[in-house]
Chain A
Amino acid sequence: MLHFRKNQNNIMMKKITKYICLALLTPVFFSCTDLEIEGTDSIINTEGFIGVADIQGEVSNLSNTIAGGNLGNQDGLYALNEVSTDEYVVATRGTDWGDNGRWLAIHRHTWDAELQDVVLAWQRLNSVIINATRILDEKSTNTSGGDVTELKAQASFYRAWAVHWVLDMWRQVPFRDPNLPNSAIPEVFTGQAAIDFIVADLNDAIAGLPSVSVGDAIDLKSSPTKASARHLLAKVHLNKHVYLGTTADAADMQVVIDAVDAIAAEGYSLAVSGDFFDIFSPSNDEETIWWSPAGVGPRIWPTLHYNLNHPDNTGGGWNGFATLSEFYQLFEGDPDTNYVGDGQEERRGWVPDATTANSDNLGIGYGFLIGQQYEEDGTPLNARDNVGGVPLVFTKEVTKAEYTAPADNAVLETDGTRMFKYHPNDTGGPNRTHVVKYRYADAYLMKAEAMFRMGSDPLTMINDLRAIRGASALATVTESDLLAERGREMYAEGLRRQDLIRFGQYTRAWNLKEAGNPDLQIFPIPLADALGNPNLVQNPGY
């Protein structure tokens, strides 16, 4: 009996074993895998470049990249073109704004190839170039929406914009062919080849982009248009002789004039008197040619003091950027204050005082903030308690660059005149995303300068502009008048470095900066590329 059961057990056991083995082996064979990943949350391509997956989405990516991060905020591109000039200095305040010495290095022109602003601006600009190149490749045909020709024309404009900045700041433009493997060494465009590259892109852009005239909805101007492409065409030709190391060529200047005239032909004109600061609000105006959906916060908070009114920003201003007194004094009017009636023109803005502060301006001025500052109810503001709560009086001069002793705190807290164009209480508030990139006054001044460089007298043009802005007429226009006029009109719009270089003023000494050599007009190639790409040659002096 017992034996029998044992035998049966054995038979059963053998059967079970057999089934188990089969069951076990089946998954083994099925699970032998080719180890290929599947596109469960992304589109995966291992075939080499086959065109971008969606042209519309990729063009939006270009626009977002230009609006975001180091191309859109106060760092990177903006810092290198503003803080490196006589428009802004960022002194340390206590430990704030120390940031490893980077703001002072930019102002003093003591940067090196590792400065994060240099590296990040370079990376982001170059990513726009390669991403646009991929869109422009003939293999790219798919789009989830929009018109392919127009989208590609937008990509041409964005690429031209990015190449222009790389050329302007580094003079060498890496170019990667998306059809080659990523391990390939990118070739490098310089000088005329780079300019030709930009001009070809802009011609494609002008051909493919819509004509958006002055009266069209402001929303249409956040995308590239014929006018924005022409604006960049003018800009590139105006600066071309700098990039080539030659003198201004009349034919190039004529390109500038023709491009600006074509913009004017679409109705763009100077904003009427009294509307200067409205240009920077999101409503439509006569001047805005191209704006970027970048937050205006980085154009407001870096310069405003902690205790100034700060709607929708419970943290308050960042008390960093201040302008230099010599820049402030380019304007007419009382050199020590900027209240209403101080003889200033419209562009210098004004500071509300006990009588003019109200719930509309919140006590925050426009343009240049100097002297005693006020609360919106007219109460004079004080600085923070840590400096004994002294009256919040912005000085004309920035006297110190860096905190070195406890007594410096009070000085640094209120040192320097604050300068900005985007009022936090405009439509959309301080969190609006509307940064003006190109506007007609810039085009207008480019034309005046082109005329000047061709030997014509731009006096009428300059005085017409000044009359609109409420400034007195000039008797003559010299080279330095032109530069000064550009400063007065275009301050804090990211153009000062380019202007100073074109007028040969970038290397001179100014407050908290010594005179430097011409090598500093060009930034160093970031180390990873300088070492890794033999087609790039580190710029002189680095």
Chain B
Amino acid sequence: MKFKLMKQLLFLSSLLFSSILLAQTVTGTVTDSNGPLPGVTIIEKGTTKGVTTDFDGNYSIDVGADAVLVFSFIGYASQEMSVNGQNVINIQLAEDASELDEVVVIGYGTTTVKDATGSVASVTSEDFNKGLISSPEQLIQGKTAGVQITASSGEPGAGISLRIRGTGSVRGDNSPLFVVDGVPVSNESVSASGADVGVGTSGSKNPLNFLNPNDIESMSILKDASATAIYGSRGANGVVVITTKSGKSGGSKGQFNFSSNLTTSSPQNTYDLLNSQEFIERGGADLGGSTDWQDYIFRAAFSSDSNLSYAMNYGSGNVRATFGYTNQEGVIENTELERITGRLNLNQRLFNDKLKIGFQGTISGINDQAPFVSRTSGSTGDLLAAAYYSNPTLNADPDFNTAPDRNPANLLAYYDDNTNTTRFLGNLSLDYALTNEFSAKLSLGLDNSTSSRAQVTGPQILSLGNGAENNGRAALSNLDANSKLLELTFNYKKEFENSKLDALVGYSYQDFNRKGENILGQGFNSTSLSEIANILEDAYNSTNGLASNYQAYGVGVFQDTGLDEFRILSLTPSLNQTTATLPIIPIDALAVDTFDNTDELQSFFGRVNYTIADKYLFTATLRADGSSKFGPENQYGYFPSAAFAWKLSEEEFVGDTFSTLKLRLNWGITGNQDGLGYGNFAERTRWLNSDPAISTALDITPNSELTEPASSTVAFENPDLKWEQTTQYGFGIDFGLDNNRFKGNIDFYRKETSDILLNLQPLQGATFPFTFKNVDAVIVNQGIELGLEYDIIRSDDFTWNANFNIAYNKNELTDFNEAPINAGNLYGQGLTGATTQVLVGGKSLFTYRLREVDENLNVADNATILDKSGLPDITTGFSTSASYKNWDASLFFSGQFGHYVYNNTDNALFASPQIGSRNNRKSVVDNGVTLSSTNPSTFFLEKGDFVRLQSASVSYNLPLKADGVLKNLRFSLSGQNLFLITGYNGLDPEVSTSNIPTNGLPSASIDYLSYPRPRTFTLGINATF
């Protein structure tokens, strides 16, 4: 506000001091608060004549004396200036002067909030969440209505489930498409998933971990089909467009920024387990020791995050380079995420600004250490389960055998799991203005990652049951994911007398290659975990050159022959197995399997924006997507959309009450092919293990023998596979009152997903237990979103604003005529094979199907389909921030309501007041409640409603001398996950298990041994110089 006034004063004074009238050449300097501003576009209004400012912000333009100049620059408010005979016009542009002029990055272009026809929300860096942020999604959690963001656990770098406007697919992946600086990024994990060395499946890592959150300028969330249809087949779950920071605002002299954060984290909540004395008092077996096992595996963790960036705007271009280092410890021992990122963003204008070259590239290295934590551990459990159930009168001795249970100290000491991932994501674009109206743009993108994971169980490990004991078992998994993008777009912009046309056509090609090796070894003559990993790697390196052209090979005693062999399994020229001279390797058995497959996507698209009288806005898009995931008959899908917006506030009959009033109507069809896997339409034959749960050709038995190799089809092919389609209708109103001091938006939508791609049990006989099929049913998501913002106080010294959003979504599966499909598997002792959720017509996805419990705690024999589901109906966020002089403070709450959480942990570990060799919760034991059955039942189903104080922060800007070296110095203190209001009996109701599919279906809201979500405190410093 203050700046705006100053700027207006400057503008007035410049008018006053300009004395020469009717001149034909206008010169001047454009500045912003930091000094000269290069690269500002100055256009004579109503013409296509224009220039840009040079390195020193100077410009010169020949115009008529009555011309009006338009000064514009992305990220700054445009200003119009009448020449009125002046020949010097100096002007200062203000950043984001009006939020309604805020640029919103949409697919293949930008628009402004004011001109957007679709439902697009943009969150810029100023509004990002603060504290310990390890991945970009966390920056916008709770910021936007209709966007549900749930971290699957408190593990650093854990996967995040992000749902825009409900859950539209019945597969594992409902994530939106992420587009980073124009490059659509595959949602598939780039960290090697790894073989099962006895841990069970762990949740996949977040594929966006490679981005340094500090490099992000803005994130646009495209919610409705009119906005996402330009991404066609990948738009059905919404699109998040991430734009990284450029050097534009770096000033002509260059600017360094350094920030550093120190964070301490500890578990927000732990179980009320019995201590050794309480345990003995209640009849537990006294083994003479005393250990608080939660304390043993949890820790106060320290994390640091440092970033150094340099930005400079030198007129014909700008540059920004950053270097970031993060080291994040998890609250469980042996958990660490280390990330080094480097980024270079370059923009250069050439040939009288006709050619714009842009480069955005980032390279990151992530080292990630994980403990023995799994989401699918069985009766003996993982590290967390073992810590929760272990007898507190044990001593923490890693070598003590607690069979049949597992010993947490043993699991911590003799399991090691390290993943190294290096990823490069780069984008080179050339944008050439062929004429003033017509431009062409070529973008080349490369996304390349190399990941290697080593999982080692030492021979000292106990109670794994797979042969790891006494032998040692280790797996190396390598994954190279490589995606290339080529896009060519042509843009035509023309202003007519009373209307504007902006048209775009384009072609896009992207391929996705994934290749790698899964290497498994058993029988190591070493007890050192790092040595075991090296031995396995050496064994692989010394053998992989001895064979060529193989899918898999094994060295060791083969089960079928009982002979020590080197067997090579090939696919070409025909499927065959051969034996070769046995190499000497230092392990008993080595099994290697490889994969290498490529999918392609080819698209043609177009968009027309037409604006009449700056009141009526029309948008139409069409994209044709061809995908190699479908057979020749169904390769191409066509995804149209249309939208209309009416700026009512521009109409005279509305009057001045509303500073903004806009109606939006939209419709569109988008598609989805995520989670479909590779080549499911075709018959594919590979060397394969007979156990469908093991994807490698060879396995190693507990006797350290290699299994008999076999070949078979790896899918029950369905040549008729086609696109899953989502039709979306939306209606929205944007409004602003009192010069937009109070503003908001309300949106109504209905999404119908049809031809649902489901992984079903095929009709027997089938060569494979599952097959993808388009099921004739409709998933309906409909809802309302409301966002409100109010500047409560706007004064020079004191500002205070509040922001509230809330969304209601109703989900229902209709017209489903298949057999109900059980899903939502439980894990843990006594729960093998138990399911809790069901896919059934007429109900929400993730509807619970459980035995009901009566008031006498009798558990029914059979399960009933309930009217309760794991999906929240309401998601909401509230944030408020205030600044007083040099102080800023903010609070942010988020909440979810209406869903039910199945407490799998309680069911598996604390089901009944058992006490003896296993520990229990004090509240459970002393409650004395005994169920008639410990089978899964509604007893363990609880409301998941919660409100969380997600973050609170205070910061202080040190007053500095204007001419000092330091331009800005800021200190901040923030806390995350400070408190949780919930009736839920477990540690935290915010859980996500969507990546643990059962019967081909994901589950939701099942709480089993979640990695505890930490409470963190962060001290930060940020300096600009």
Contacts and interface: CB of A to CB of B under 8 A. Distances in A.
Given A40-B597, A385-B285, A98 B935 contact: yes
Contacts of B351: 13, 17
A133 interface: yes
A92 B720 CA distance: 46
B834 A99 contact: yes
Interface string B402-434: 011000000000000000000000000010100
A387 B917 CA distance: 8
Nearest to B838: A114
Interface in A484-542: 526-533
Interface in B668-693: 678-679, 681-692
B829 to A, nearest CB: 5
Contact of A406 (B462, B769, B912): B912
A186 B832 CA distance: 32
Given A35-B626, A42-B679, A433 B464 contact: no
Interface string B555-595: 00001111000000001001111000000000000000011
Given A24-B430, A127-B767, A54 B574 contact: yes
B575 A43 contact: yes
Interface in A50-95: 52-54, 57-58, 60-61, 63-65, 67-69, 92, 94-95
Given A45-B683, A57-B687, A100-B936, A176 B820 contact: no
A331 interface: no
Nearest to B936: A100
Nearest to A54: B575
Contacts of B107: none
A64 B600 contact: no
B2 to A, nearest CB: 45
A429 interface: yes
B829 A69 contact: no
Interface in B451-472: 462-465, 467, 469-470
Given A46-B719, A95-B829, A409 B916 contact: yes
A46 to B, nearest CB: 5
Given A186-B764, A314-B463, A58 B710 contact: yes
Interface stretch (A177-185, A262-270, A358-366): A177-185
Interface residues of B, number: 120
B260 to A, nearest CB: 42
A99 B833 contact: yes
B679 A429 contact: no
Given A17-B432, A315-B464, A99 B831 contact: yes
Contacts of A100: 826, 831-835, 935-936
Interface stretch (B30-38, B171-179, B627-635, B971-979): B627-635
B765 A433 contact: no
A211 interface: no
A167 to B, nearest CB: 14
Interface in A369-396: 384-389
Interface string A119-143: 1001110110111011000000010
A310 interface: yes
Interface residues of A, number: 111
B347 interface: no
A29 B654 CA distance: 53
B1008 interface: no
B679 A53 contact: no
Nearest to A124: B769
B596 A183 contact: no
Nearest to B708: A60
A202 to B, nearest CB: 19
B599 interface: yes
Interface string A172-207: 001110000111011000000000000000000000
B998 to A, nearest CB: 10
B934 A403 contact: yes
Contacts, number: 326
A402 interface: yes
B830 A44 contact: no
Quick one: which of B682, B701, B911 has the most chain A CB within 10 A? B682
B864 interface: no
B711 interface: yes
Interface in A312-346: 312-319
B55 interface: no
Nearest to B910: A95
A433 B833 contact: no
Nearest to B930: A405
Contacts of A95: 829-831, 908, 911-912, 914, 934
B270 interface: no
A355 to B, nearest CB: 27
Interface string B330-351: 0000000000000000000001
Interface string B755-768: 00000111111111
A3 B208 CA distance: 51
A37 interface: yes
A116 B515 CA distance: 34
Nearest to A410: B916
Given A131-B712, A433-B701, A96 B829 contact: yes
A274 interface: no
Contact of A386 (B707, B760, B761, B918): B918
A92 B507 CA distance: 62
Interface string B626-650: 1110011001000000000000000
Contacts of B278: none
A96 B710 contact: no
A57 B764 contact: no
Nearest to A105: B861
A532 B763 CA distance: 7
A17 B351 CA distance: 10
Contacts of A133: 765
Contacts of A530: 819
B401 A314 contact: yes
A452 interface: no
B761 A101 contact: no
Contacts of A428: 703
B933 interface: yes
A402 B933 contact: yes
Contacts of A20: 430, 432
B752 interface: no
B769 A123 contact: yes
Contacts of A28: 486, 488, 507, 509
Given A44-B684, A98-B933, A182-B771, A431 B577 contact: no
Interface string B734-771: 00000000000000000000000000111111111101
B577 A123 contact: no
Interface string B378-393: 0110000000000100
A406 B914 contact: yes
Contacts of A312: 469-470, 702
Contacts of A94: 829-830, 912, 914
30 contacts: A33-B509, A35-B626, A41-B594, A46-B631, A46-B682, A49-B683, A57-B577, A57-B711, A60-B711, A63-B710, A95-B829, A95-B908, A95-B911, A100-B832, A100-B935, A100-B936, A127-B765, A129-B765, A142-B575, A144-B575, A293-B559, A312-B469, A315-B404, A316-B404, A316-B463, A385-B916, A389-B285, A404-B930, A433-B701, A529-B764
Interface of A: 13, 17, 20, 24-25, 27-28, 31-33, 35-46, 49, 52-54, 57-58, 60-61, 63-65, 67-69, 92, 94-102, 110, 114, 116, 119, 122-124, 126-127, 129-131, 133-134, 142, 144-145, 174-176, 181-183, 185-186, 219, 222, 293, 295, 297, 306, 310, 312-319, 384-389, 402-406, 409, 428-429, 431-433, 526-533
* 7 tightest A-B CB contacts, nearest first: A386-B916, A57-B711, A385-B285, A64-B690, A98-B830, A130-B765, A100-B834
Given A53-B575, A95-B908, 10 more contacts: A32-B602, A37-B678, A37-B682, A60-B560, A95-B830, A114-B822, A183-B718, A315-B404, A316-B463, A528-B761
